[in-house]
Amino acid sequence: MLYKATVNELEKVVENKHAIPQELADQKYGHIGGIDYYDGVLYGGIEISKSEPGVIAAWNATDLSLLRWEVTAQNGMPWVAADGVAGLLYSTHWSDTGRINVFDMTTFQQRDDLTIRPASEAPADQFPPEIQGAAFYERDPGFLFLAANGAESVYKVDIASGALSFVLSDKQYRSHEAEMEGLTFWDLGARGVMHMFSNFERVVQKGLHSYLDMGGSPAPHVPVQVQVE
Q: Give CA–CA dist 118/124, Å, rounded.
A: 9
- What pLDDT shows up at residue 204? 54
End-to-end CA, the chain = 12
Contact 110, 103 (CB under 8 A): yes
- For 94-128, b/e burial (b = at least 16 CB within 10 A) is bebeeebbbbebeebebeebbebebbeeeeebebb
Give ranges for CATH 2.40.10.480 in the chain. 1-112
Contact 3, 10 (CB under 8 A): no
Instruction: State which amino acid sits at residue 204.
Output: V
Distances 199 to 61, 105, 226 between C-alpha atoms, Å: 23, 28, 11
- What pLDDT shows up at residue 209? 79
- For 10-46, b/e burial (b = at least 16 CB within 10 A) is eeeeeebeebbeeebeeeebeebbbbbbbeebbbbbb
What is the pTM for the complete model shown? 0.90
- What pLDDT shows up at residue 178? 66
Q: What angle do CA 9, 172, 3 make, to 5 degrees?
A: 30
As beta bridge partners, residue 133 has 147
- What pLDDT shows up at residue 228? 43
135 CB-contact burial (10 Å; exposed 0-12 / middle 13-18 / buried 19+): buried
- What pLDDT shows up at residue 15? 96
Contact 132, 76 (CB under 8 A): no
Low-confidence residues in the chain, pLDDT < 70? 150-151, 171-178, 200-206, 220-229
Q: Say how far residue 43 (Cα) sits from the centre of its chain.
A: 10
Q: Give CA–CA dist 130/4, Å, rounded.
A: 27
- What pLDDT shows up at residue 212? 87
- What pLDDT shows up at residue 16? 97
- What pLDDT shows up at residue 229? 47
71 CB-contact burial (10 Å; exposed 0-12 / middle 13-18 / buried 19+): middle
Q: Which CATH entry fits the domain spanning 1-112: 2.40.50.90, 3.40.109.10, 1.20.1600.10, 2.40.10.480?
A: 2.40.10.480
